[in-house]
Structure 1
Amino acid sequence: MYLGLDLGTSGLKGVVIDDAQKIVAEATAPLTVSRPHEGWSEQSPADWIVAAETVLNAIPARIRAAIRGIGLSGQMHGAVLLDRADDVLRPCILWNDTRAHEEAAALDANPVFRRLTGNIVFPGFTAPKLLWVKSHEPAQFNRVARVLLPKDYLRLWLTGEHVAEMSDAAGTSWLDTGKRDWSDELLAATGLDRGAMPRLVEGSDRSGILRPELADRFGLPKGVVVAGGAGDNAAAGIGVGVVKAGQAFVSLGTSGVLFAANEGYRPAPATAVHTFCHALPGKWHQMGVILAATDALNWFARIAGSASADLTEGLGGLKPPGKARFLPYLGGERTPLNDASIRGAFIGLEHDTDRNAATRAVLEGVTFAIRDCRDALAATGTKIDRLLAVGGGSKSDYWLSAIATALGTPISVPVAGDYGGAFGAARLAIMATTGAGAEIATPPSIAKTIDPVAALTGAFDEGHARFRAAATAIKGLT
């Protein structure tokens, strides 16, 4: 048996698979986000440990006793600051926190960052957060002995080791992404050195062994291997078998991601596309990222006083984009805008705009933002031959039909099951424990494929053009 733990923003999920990769147990524990100021987003790492304990205790004892390996997946970019005793100095600043936008711009103005990392320094990345702490909380910064990413704090609890892996480390702005190693030059630019960084491994490598006292406490065998694991999207790529060039998936979760695998390192930071290491040796991936996907729908659902699923169920077949337009920039945007201050908007509302029309506008706004990501990826030369859909938003056929039509690409939906970060982490645990390679990361069986609606292709092209015009106008106002 192999356990995958996925530390998300809203909860921690555990999935156990057997040697045939069949899910035999799963459990979740909720997490909350603190937003003490506008643009801030924080969590207490202590809550992650409580959540992990909850998940482990919820797995049947007979299954825990058969676990041979553990893989880790998690939200990226978070800054967990530790002192010399490994005590947490302050709440973790999360991926969707934009307070460090000025620090990010300052680092990004130094051309060495884009040259070595292959990426823009986004406000949500880890390095600018350290500069913010240095400027605003100098006493805490002076006590920093180690910086960990969120899932790697779980690893410290599990193994006692300070270890990170390539896919997550690539989102810090401290990794030389082509060389797959920390950059001393980039670390020095933020007042750190290599001694503050965890040891690096590949996602499919062993990173440590479960501490004996935890094995005894939770009824796990001695010597359980803990794999390097992956950042959440790279782990999802392993889970759905997106590991070769031409393969891609669209994730409709809290954020939205268009993720494409690459055989080589092909950075294009000017496009605001993320170019990161994949979770397997010698592989990279690219992502277009939007900060609000289902988060945008859930926001509108709260305003409408309805569950998000109820909003989408009554929409019927795909319709041409209407006059009402929605810009999903509720907390800034990454690809392709790289703008922490831009905010969302409804445009073109009229007397005939009812709840269904507004719901369609929200879905279309996220759809067009994902098309922006596709266009940015295409500008780098990345080609998408196969596209899978994952995440909670993929349950809406209307939404997937809109995305397929806007992108001109069929979208395959896996059979019922969870092929996300926890499943991918469990697959990496198999690799680290048994020495198996990328052949473990096979694509899932497909339940259905949603084709573009050819008759509406032109209407969605026109809708996207109106969306871009509205985004340009809003960008000038914020």
Structure 2
Amino acid sequence: MLYIGVDLGTSAVKLLLMDGKGQIKKIVSREYPLYFPQPGWSEQQPEDWYTQTMEGIRELLLDTDKSQVAGISFGGQMHGLVTLDEQDHVIRPAILWNDGRSFEETDYLNEVIGKEKLSEYTANIAFAGFTAPKILWMKKHEPENFRRIAKIMLPKDYLAYRLTGSFCTEVSDASGTLLLDVKKRQWSQQMLQICSVTEKMLPRVYESYEVVGTLRAETAKELGLSGAVKVIAGAGDNAAAAVGTGTVGDSRCNLSLGTSGTIFVSSKSFGVDEHNALHSFGHADGHYHLMGCMLSAASCNKWWEEQILKTTDFAGEQSKIRRLGENRVFYLPYLMGERSPHNDPRARALFLGMSMDTTREDMTQAVLEGVAFALRDSLEVARSLGNHISSSRICGGGAKSPLWRRIIANVMNLKLELLENEEGPALGAAMLAAVGCGEYPDVASAAENLVKVAGTVEPEPELVQKYEERYQKFREIYPAVKALYQTLEA
């Protein structure tokens, strides 16, 4: 049988067709606009997601025996606020994960309601990207729209609703709303009251591998598919990517080096660090995970190379870097503020340590190292909770750089495992569809059978020691400049 994985990203939807043995038959991608109506705002039209997904599925299935398609599932950008009225009309453009307008509402939740209460209710504290602060922003700034809300959903769940009519979500994505009691895997009544929403306005919560429905008759006809095709709940993009890299079970780790950067640690037991520096979310395998998310990872290198150096020859710039672990220049990678572990939307990037003999190569190396150091900040929090992490899978566009992989392996003192198929959330979504359709008994079995390691990058003891000394210096920089960020913003 065949399974479709839909990765609803921020700039495009990526669709993947996989057979039951994990062979990828075809991949297509279709872009849609991203809107910035004011500085710090980020929005999209949900109708664009649906239109491009439908077109993408048609393209994906050209010259394919459509009778073999058994299931569809999703990975998707998290935290976005999609609101529908009583007639199922979208009320306003979706407010996305990287939208920073709700900083006042975030401060209210963390400082007035209190971080301890939030952690008790949801296992997390408020971040500007989360959904609950967006709801409060809408209540304050768009009260007429707020009063029209009949349904609140997340981006990928809007697709599931359009395809099936099922008003649904699942644990991994719902965890990032700040409305879910993560430990109990159900909506938090306290948070609903704080945000002035009712449980009726929120979707039913499924496990990521559960079937939420079948295709609507008219949708199946439009796509040329059977009405018996199952739609499986799916997962937030990071949890779906973790499934696609086999990061399931206990103390398994995945590093994602995309536009943003994440460290993802799967766990069979629920856990929260005392400062809520990491997100504590439900995982797509039926258990839990810790996740540290930095807002600017590979995008730091893209910014440096394209905007500052005016080049797209990333490999050429990196080829001149020779002296790892000895760079005197530091870089803080906070171009858009930072989430984990600092939770500081006012933070900004900076270079420190330049002198008259600083070279172009030193600056490029500092950018790569700064991202690695910032990811290690989150790794250290995960380790403090008793997770014994000695190796990690690695994925994302930045991970295609051999130099960057080597830096990360030595900064973190981790063996990095490179995968045969690195297709991120789309592959994980297709695997969840296979589990939901009974091809595999559970997510762990699917990962064991379908995810293959193609190579490794080993840490080098001498370089590990050099980077340990550099990292300890890096850790001192943010606390020293933190107060300046608020002054600069004012």
Class of the TM-score when normalised by the shorter of the 2 chains = over 0.9
Partner of residue 24, structure 2: 23
Q: How far is 1:231 from its partner?
A: 0.4
The letter for the 2-side match of 1:78 is G
Q: How far is 1:308 from its partner?
A: 5.8
Deviations 1:246-288 (A, max 9, x none): 211100011101101100111225141111000122x001111
Q: Does 2:295 correspond to 1:294?
A: no
Q: Does 2:71 correspond to 1:69?
A: yes
Q: Distance in 2 between matches of 1:275 and 1:397?
A: 31
**Cα gap change, 1:451/1:361 in structure 2, threshold over 3 Å: closer, same or farther?**
same
Decide whether the 8 Å contact of 2:210 with 2:233 is kept in 1: yes
Deviations 1:394-448 (A, max 9, x none): 1011111111111111111112x23410111011101111262121122622222
Decide whether the 8 Å contact of 1:246 with 1:386 is kept in 2: no
Q: Distance in 2 between matches of 1:327 and 1:468?
A: 10
Q: Distance in 2 between matches of 1:195 and 1:331?
A: 35
Partner of residue 422, structure 1: 426
1:189 to 194, 205, 211: 194
Deviations 1:351-396 (A, max 9, x none): 3333322111110110000010111111222222431111111101
**Cα gap change, 1:308/1:10 in structure 2, threshold over 3 Å: closer, same or farther?**
farther
Deviates more, 1:105-114 or 1:215-224: 105-114
Q: Distance in 1 between matches of 2:381 and 2:28?
A: 37
The letter for the 2-side match of 1:364 is E
Q: Distance in 2 between matches of 1:359 and 1:313?
A: 7
The letter for the 2-side match of 1:453 is E
1:229 to 228, 234, 244: 234
Partner of residue 83, structure 1: 85
Return 5+ residue gaps in structure 2 as ranges. Answer: 486-490
Decide whether the 8 Å contact of 1:413 with 1:448 is kept in 2: yes
> Structure 1 length normalisation: TM-score?
0.96
Q: How far is 1:64 from its partner?
A: 6.0
Matches within 5 A, 1:155-304: 155-268=160-273, 270-281=275-286, 283-303=287-307, 304=309
The letter for the 2-side match of 1:377 is A
1:432 to 414, 426, 436: 436
Decide whether the 8 Å contact of 1:410 with 1:452 is kept in 2: yes
Q: Does 2:458 correspond to 1:451?
A: yes
Partner of residue 135, structure 2: 130
- SS of 1:245's partner is coil
Q: How far is 1:59 from its partner?
A: 1.2
- SS of 2:169's partner is strand
The letter for the 2-side match of 1:349 is M
Deviations 1:66-90 (A, max 9, x none): 2110011101101011111111111
Following superposition, which runs of at least 4 residues in structure 1 exceed 6 angstroms of deviation? none
Q: Distance in 2 between matches of 1:117 and 1:168?
A: 13
Q: Distance in 1 between matches of 2:465 and 2:390?
A: 22
Q: How far is 1:316 from its partner?
A: 5.0
Q: How far is 1:104 from its partner?
A: 1.4
Q: How far is 1:467 from its partner?
A: 1.8
Q: Distance in 2 between matches of 1:464 and 1:476?
A: 21
The letter for the 2-side match of 1:401 is R
Partner of residue 324, structure 1: 329
Partner of residue 475, structure 2: 468
The letter for the 1-side match of 2:213 is G
Q: Distance in 2 between matches of 1:232 and 1:64?
A: 28
Q: How far is 1:43 from its partner?
A: 1.3
Q: Distance in 1 between matches of 2:107 and 2:274?
A: 14
- SS of 2:231's partner is strand
Decide whether the 8 Å contact of 1:288 with 1:336 is kept in 2: yes
Q: Does 2:60 correspond to 1:59?
A: yes
Decide whether the 8 Å contact of 1:205 with 1:228 is kept in 2: yes
Return 5+ residue gaps in structure 1 as ranges. Answer: none
The alignment's C-alpha RMSD in Å is 1.6
Decide whether the 8 Å contact of 1:206 with 1:226 is kept in 2: yes
Q: Distance in 1 between matches of 2:313 and 2:375?
A: 20
Partner of residue 45, structure 1: 46
The letter for the 2-side match of 1:7 is L
Q: How far is 1:31 from its partner?
A: 3.2
> Structure 2 length normalisation: TM-score?
0.94
Decide whether the 8 Å contact of 2:332 with 2:350 is kept in 1: yes
Q: Distance in 1 between matches of 2:348 and 2:389?
A: 30
Q: How far is 1:318 from its partner?
A: 5.9
**Cα gap change, 1:278/1:107 in structure 2, threshold over 3 Å: closer, same or farther?**
same
- SS of 2:437's partner is helix
Q: Does 2:403 correspond to 1:398?
A: yes
Deviates more, 1:202-211 or 1:307-316: 307-316
Q: Distance in 2 between matches of 1:270 and 1:473?
A: 19
- SS of 1:270's partner is coil
**Cα gap change, 1:273/1:321 in structure 2, threshold over 3 Å: closer, same or farther?**
farther
The letter for the 2-side match of 1:76 is M
Partner of residue 104, structure 1: 106
- SS of 1:32's partner is coil
Q: How far is 1:234 from its partner?
A: 0.7
Identity percentage of aligned residues: 38
Q: Distance in 2 between matches of 1:382 and 1:116?
A: 24
The letter for the 1-side match of 2:288 is W
Partner of residue 347, structure 2: 342
Q: Distance in 1 between matches of 2:481 and 2:407?
A: 23
In the comparison of the two structures, how many residue pairs are matched? 476
The letter for the 1-side match of 2:291 is M
Deviates more, 1:374-383 or 1:306-315: 306-315
Deviates more, 1:256-265 or 1:113-122: 113-122
Q: Distance in 1 between matches of 2:324 and 2:290?
A: 31
